[in-house]
Amino acid sequence: MKPSPRPAGAERSRSQTTRMNRSAKSVLENNRGMAMVLTISAVALLSLLGVWLVVQSGSTYRITQSVERRESTFNLAEGALQLSWRCLRTESNEKILKDLKKKQDVTPPSGVVPYMQANQAVDHQTKASRTLTPRLMFLEAQSVPGWDMNKFRGYYYLAQGEGREILPQQKGGPARSEVVMLVRKIGQVHSR
């Protein structure tokens, strides 16, 4: 028996398949374009790394500015606290207190104690506006154990210091820090 003749299209499709396989093999074996692909990939990767470094350095700069601003306002607040404490050490209770009403602001006016002025400008050379504000709050007066109850009394104060710094192009208002210290000052009882 004679084999049946194959259709003419089958011969062509087989030869086309063979040619396609040869051309695919030759493309895979040909490495001329690989260098270009690797170079473009490396350049893209290095570009992404460069962009990431630029963004990272910008955020690091902002963090550094924030930390410096916080330290600056904290130092201002500590300076104001030292002024409040100086007032308590050097001035008498009679000069500070008008009456013994609890939890009252007893900050002496700047006419009485000049360094207790509110919103004192710190430096005039910089563009930033930096101020400090010392404050005193009278909490209460109690007898002191071990002392003569009729002659001596413990006066409890809350010494406060506030520092503010207004920076150019700052969002959200001024940077502000506040520190407080509880102070017991023992003094003689005078009739009022």
Q: Which two tokens stand for residue 155?
A: 């006066």
How much is the mean pLDDT over the chain? Answer: 80
Q: Where exactly are the structural domains of the chain?
A: 37-188
End-to-end CA separation in angstroms for the chain? 141
Identify whether the C-beta of residue 135 lies closer than 8 Å to the C-beta of residue 160. Answer: yes
Enter the pTM of the model. Answer: 0.63
Residue 176 is predicted with a pLDDT of: 86
pLDDT tens digit sequence for 1-40: 555 655 555 555 667 777 777 776 665 676 777 788 888 9
Burial of 167 (0-12, 13-18, 19+ CB in 10 A): middle
